[in-house]
Amino acid sequence: MTARPLSDTDRTRHRRLRAQGGTDRAELDAILAAGFLCHLGVLVDGSVLVIPTVYGSTGTDLYLHGSVASRSLIASPNSTVCVTITHIDGLVLARSVFEHGVNYRSAMIFGTPRPVDDPDEKLEGLRCLTEQSAPGQWEYARRPNRRELAATALLDLSLDEASVKIRTGPPDDGDGPDAALGLWAGVLPLHTGWGAPQPDPALPADIAAPPHIATRSGAPTA
Amino acid sequence: MTARPLSDTDRTRHRRLRAQGGTDRAELDAILAAGFLCHLGVLVDGSVLVIPTVYGSTGTDLYLHGSVASRSLIASPNSTVCVTITHIDGLVLARSVFEHGVNYRSAMIFGTPRPVDDPDEKLEGLRCLTEQSAPGQWEYARRPNRRELAATALLDLSLDEASVKIRTGPPDDGDGPDAALGLWAGVLPLHTGWGAPQPDPALPADIAAPPHIATRSGAPTA
């Protein structure tokens, strides 16, 4: 990959994980654990589609799901897809526009998804997907019945081929000639966090949000 | 597009903007204005790549940029790309796992990017890109010089072919049989906002963050 995601600097680390070291693997795991949204790139009828979708990570595989009628889900098992997960941590505001950039953590996973048909594995995959974004909900909510399972397509994508890119830290022009300009430079951090749960208006007033939902309010997501 | 991004419900609106109405156009503009990060899907040597990158919107076009050495940027003008912008507004926590979903606003733009070579248009595109994420910085920071301009590839992607998907509101199973389960249901909102500016450690202590940066702290981004 020589693709340039967001900024190229000395601090940008870009490593293929095909022959991964422990550190890179840990970075990949941390990026996956910090989110639940990915962008799935797949070729459908000769056109690239980039589809936002949720994922669940087992540590060795990603699960993706969707309607059995979804064109992108149907096309995915026949071709190599690219799944990208990106967390934005802040804007890098340098002295020069050229050195502006973004602090971020990003993972790209390449592979040919395997459709999951076995009902037990399908349930396990949906548990993984549910718990990725909403820990505790698999135990709390009503689980999928046979009809719902049949209506859901599940894909398994191995994490064997993945790369990680991370940029952290201040701008890179603090020791160059632009430092003499006397301009402010630094990072404007971006924070993401959960708000207070909003009850469904159809909900009876005596049903309170359970602790696994109520306690997330105010917590950062990534 | 019959792709299923995040959830399919009665409230999901999905409209092609090729023959757009005023409302759809306004929705697209609002989604673009609320962010600065997109995921660019492009075919490189037969493989789909999904690359996180920043954008600038003029209202009729998107500008994307990168290193002139970037494979994805070089490949893009030769093929149809898909650019997707996604804002996550919250988790939809229903009574059943099957009805779980995400509240989100998403735009997909399809087209064949045009490389921008004219120096004046290149500067205008970089101004647009800079101001998208960091309003005020084009006036404040040092602008690109001739060498920096030459090292930067700029692409222009028309917004003519785009689609928008939005999901809002509570879960959809409040009036079905699952309502009798007595489970809490609702939305867990996700908020994104700017933190306090972090000065570059190399910065002299007497240089304060200018108002266009300092005043963003605490403000939501989308």
In a domain, A124, yes or no: yes
Measure CB to CB from residue A3 to each of B51, B90, B97 and give the nearest one. B51
pLDDT digits (tens, 9 = 90+) for A13-72: 444 443 344 568 899 999 999 999 999 999 988 889 999 999 999 999 999 998 776 766
Q: What is the sign, positive or negative, of the torsion defined by CA atoms of B87, B88, B89, B94?
A: positive
Cβ neighbours of A4 in B, within 8 Å: 51, 53, 66-67, 69-70, 72-73
Could you write out the three-class secondary structure of B99-113? HCEEEEEEEEEEECC
Measure CB to CB from residue B72 to each of A3, A81, A198 and give the nearest one. A3
In this predicted model, which residue has the larger pLDDT, B162 or A3? Answer: B162
Tokens 């072919």 correspond to what residue?
Answer: B161
Residues A86 and A161 in one domain: yes
* Host domain of residue B73: 13-173
State the smallest CA–CA distance between residue A117 and chain B in angstroms.
17
Residues B199 and B139 in one domain: no
- A57 membership: H or E segment, kind and range: strand A47-57
Query: What's the predicted TM-score (pTM) here?
Result: 0.90
Residues A133 and A208 in one domain: no
Measure CB to CB from residue A221 to each of B106, B184, B190 and give the nearest one. B190
ipTM rounded to 2 decimals: 0.90
Cβ neighbours of A47 in B, within 8 Å: 80, 82, 110
Could you give the number of structural domains in chain A?
2
Residues A180 and A70 in one domain: yes
User: What DSSP string describes A84-104?
Assistant: EEEEEEEEEE-SBGGG-EEEE
Q: Is A139 on the interface with B (CB under 8 A)?
A: no
Does the structure show a pLDDT above 70 at A4?
A: no
Residues A120 and A201 in one domain: no
Cβ neighbours of B180 in A, within 8 Å: none
In sequence order, the 6+-apart residues with CB closer than 8 A to the CB of A54 are A36, A37, A38, A64, A65, A129, A132, A133, B6, B102
Residues B197 and B151 in one domain: no
Residues A219 and A115 in one domain: no
Cβ neighbours of B89 in A, within 8 Å: none
In this predicted model, which residue has the larger pLDDT, A74 or A126? Answer: A126
Residues A66 and A146 in one domain: yes
Q: Give pLDDT < 50 ranges for chain B.
A: 1-21
| Number of C-beta neighbours around residue B201 at 10 A | 9
State the smallest CA–CA distance between residue A115 and chain B in angstroms.
16
Residues A125 and A159 in one domain: yes
What single-letter amino acid sits at B167? R
Q: Under a CB-based contact definition with an 8 Å cutoff, are residues A32 and A84 in contact?
A: no
The per-residue pLDDT for A16 is 41
Q: Average pLDDT, stretch A164-168? A: 93
The per-residue pLDDT for A9 is 37
- A195 falls in which pLDDT band (50, 70, 90)? very high
Q: Average pLDDT, stretch A178-185? A: 96
Residue of A48, A72, A106, A146 for testing the chain B interface, max B β-carbons within 10 Å: A48
Measure CB to CB from residue B133 to each of A48, A91, A193 and give the nearest one. A91
In a domain, A8, yes or no: no
Q: How far apart are CA B137 and CA B56, in angstroms?
A: 14
Q: Which residues 23-62 in chain A show a CB within 8 A of chain B? A: 37, 39-44, 47-54
Q: Average pLDDT, stretch A88-109? A: 96
In a domain, A160, yes or no: yes
Region of poorest pLDDT, from A173-187, A190-204, B2-16, B154-168: B2-16
pLDDT digits (tens, 9 = 90+) for B170-186: 999 999 999 999 999 99
In a domain, B8, yes or no: no
Q: How far apart are CA B135 and CA B155, in angstroms?
A: 21
Residues B118 and B195 in one domain: no
In this predicted model, which residue has the larger pLDDT, B149 or A220? Answer: B149
Residue of A51, A131, A183, A216 for testing the chain B interface, max B β-carbons within 10 Å: A51
- Find, in chain B, the residue whose alpha carbon is nearest to that of A94: B141
Percent residues over pLDDT 90 in chain B: 76
Q: Assign A15 to helix, strand or coil.
A: strand
Tokens 């549910």 correspond to what residue?
Answer: A130
Cβ within 8 Å, pair B185-A200: yes
State the smallest CA–CA distance between residue A151 and chain B in angstroms.
10
Cβ neighbours of A86 in B, within 8 Å: 37, 39, 52
- A97 falls in which pLDDT band (50, 70, 90)? very high
